[in-house]
Amino acid sequence: MALGFIGTGVMGTGIINNLLKAGHHVTVYNRTQSKADEVISHGAVWADTPAEVAQQADIVFSMVGYPQDVEDVWTRDDGIFAGAKPGTILVDMTTSTPHLAEQLAQTGADLGFKVLDAPVSGGDIGAKSGTLTIMVGGEADVFEAVKPVFESIGQQIVHVGAAGKGQHMKMSNNIGVAATVITMAESLVYAKAAGLDLETAYNVWRQGAAGSWSIDNYTPRVLKGDFAAGFYAKHLLKDLRIALDAAKEMDIDLPNTALAEKLFAKLSVDHGDEGVQAIVKLWAAFSS
Ligand code: NAP
């Protein structure tokens, strides 16, 4: 199938490589062209604008950083909406706001396009290995049309409701991610202060009741001193702010998430470009 993909960062690169492996023709665009070199070396084709990507694709995906980046690549003069042919399916996989997803679905429908919001979970590892969880909002028949493509990049693919619901599901998920990453940090800080062997502690947690995906995937990185971004701290901060804004609109109180936002805001002042596991650096025992 002729696919378009905008955003060749950490997640986009892994996903595009799997789309290529599945035999799709993929046209790509990214703000910094050199970041597309890897997928181009695997067979992707470069286009100079999001509109040019959309002109050549039956399904166009975007996986950029922030909601304002999504708005930019979809709505600018040489953006996705400007280039897509009537009937094209447009899918935003960025973690963005439910409101923007609803707005893009409405504008897209007015212009004759079919739109899905499809944020993912599973991190850099899930993107590379094609084992992502994909949470999809939008019309059921459009979901069914894209499902075979999702199956080449993900393992758990769930239609969760109308436009915007994919993003709401992603928020409910990342509330848990933030909590478990902070829990990992506090468990490490406590274990270190108590003089416990940290490798042993990690193995005890992961096989016991404290186990979680974050413990499994982020603790080894901390123990190796690897703070490179699989999932940027600044992106988790963005997600927590989206979740808190949505919670406010729904008139619900999320005190744990509010605390997580404060901690990731503090971390992001100096370490936003590192991975979420850098949260341990807020404690003196891991700060150097
Ligand atoms: P990333 O490495 O920063 O990738 C984003 C890519 O989008 C970058 O290459 C960036 O270009 C490009 N981009 C941003 N704005 C653009 C624009 N206006 N026009 C064209 N290209 C643009 O981030 P990532 O880790 O892949 O994450 C992408 C999204 O997935 C985020 O919303 C994140 O929250 C979400 N997410 C991440 C993970 C994870 O574990 N990494 C997991 C689930 C969801 P430049 O190279 O020029 O910056």
Domains of the chain (ranges, CATH numbers): 2-161 (3.40.50.720), 168-286 (1.10.1040.10)
Residue of 18, 28, 30 with the most ligand 1 atoms within 8 Å of its CB, for mutation: 30
Instruction: For residues 287 and 217, give the distance between their C-alpha atoms in angstroms, rounded to a whole number.
Output: 20
Report the pLDDT averaged over residues 25-40: 98
Alpha carbon 284 to chain centroid distance? Answer: 30
Q: How far is the CA of 231 from the centre of ligand 1 (A)?
A: 10
According to the model, what pLDDT value does residue 80 have? 98
According to the model, what pLDDT value does residue 107 have? 98
Whether 223 contacts 198, CB under 8 Å:
yes
- Does ligand 1 lie within 6 Å of residue 241's CB atom? no
- Does ligand 1 lie within 6 Å of residue 34's CB atom? no
Environment class of 202 (CB within 10 Å of its CB; exposed 0-12, middle 13-18, buried 19+): buried
Q: Which of 170, 234, 238, 281 is the catalytic position?
A: 170
Angle of CA points 183, 263, 279, to nearest 5°? 55
* 60-73: pLDDT as tens digits: 999 999 999 999 99
According to the model, what pLDDT value does residue 32 have? 98
- Does ligand 1 lie within 6 Å of residue 71's CB atom? no
- Does ligand 1 lie within 6 Å of residue 146's CB atom? no
Q: Any idea how long the chain is?
A: 288
- Does ligand 1 lie within 6 Å of residue 7's CB atom? yes
170 is annotated as an active-site residue? yes
Instruction: For residues 61 and 80, give the distance between their C-alpha atoms in angstroms, rounded to a whole number.
Output: 10
Using CA positions, which residue lies closest to atom 14 of ligand 1?
Answer: 64
- Does ligand 1 lie within 6 Å of residue 76's CB atom? no
| Nearest-atom index, ligand 1, CA of 7 | 7
Instruction: For residues 134 and 121, give the distance between their C-alpha atoms in angstroms, rounded to a whole number.
Output: 7
Q: How far is the CA of 7 from the centre of ligand 1 (A)?
A: 6
Query: Beta strands 132-137 and 89-92: pairing type?
Result: unpaired
- Does ligand 1 lie within 6 Å of residue 230's CB atom? yes
Whether 120 contacts 11, CB under 8 Å:
yes
According to the model, what pLDDT value does residue 22 have? 98
Q: How far is the CA of 30 from the centre of ligand 1 (A)?
A: 9
* 258-283: pLDDT as tens digits: 999 999 999 999 999 999 999 999 99
Q: How far is the CA of 188 from the centre of ligand 1 (A)?
A: 29
Environment class of 94 (CB within 10 Å of its CB; exposed 0-12, middle 13-18, buried 19+): buried
Using CA positions, which residue lies closest to atom 41 of ligand 1?
Answer: 231
- Does ligand 1 lie within 6 Å of residue 207's CB atom? no
According to the model, what pLDDT value does residue 29 have? 98
Instruction: For residues 192 and 190, give the distance between their C-alpha atoms in angstroms, rounded to a whole number.
Output: 5
157 has a pLDDT exceeding 90: yes
Question: Which residue has 């409910």 as its token pair?
Answer: 172
According to the model, what pLDDT value does residue 288 have? 79
Q: What is the mean pLDDT of the chain?
A: 97
* 195-235: pLDDT as tens digits: 999 999 999 999 999 999 999 999 999 999 999 999 999 99
249 has a pLDDT exceeding 90: yes
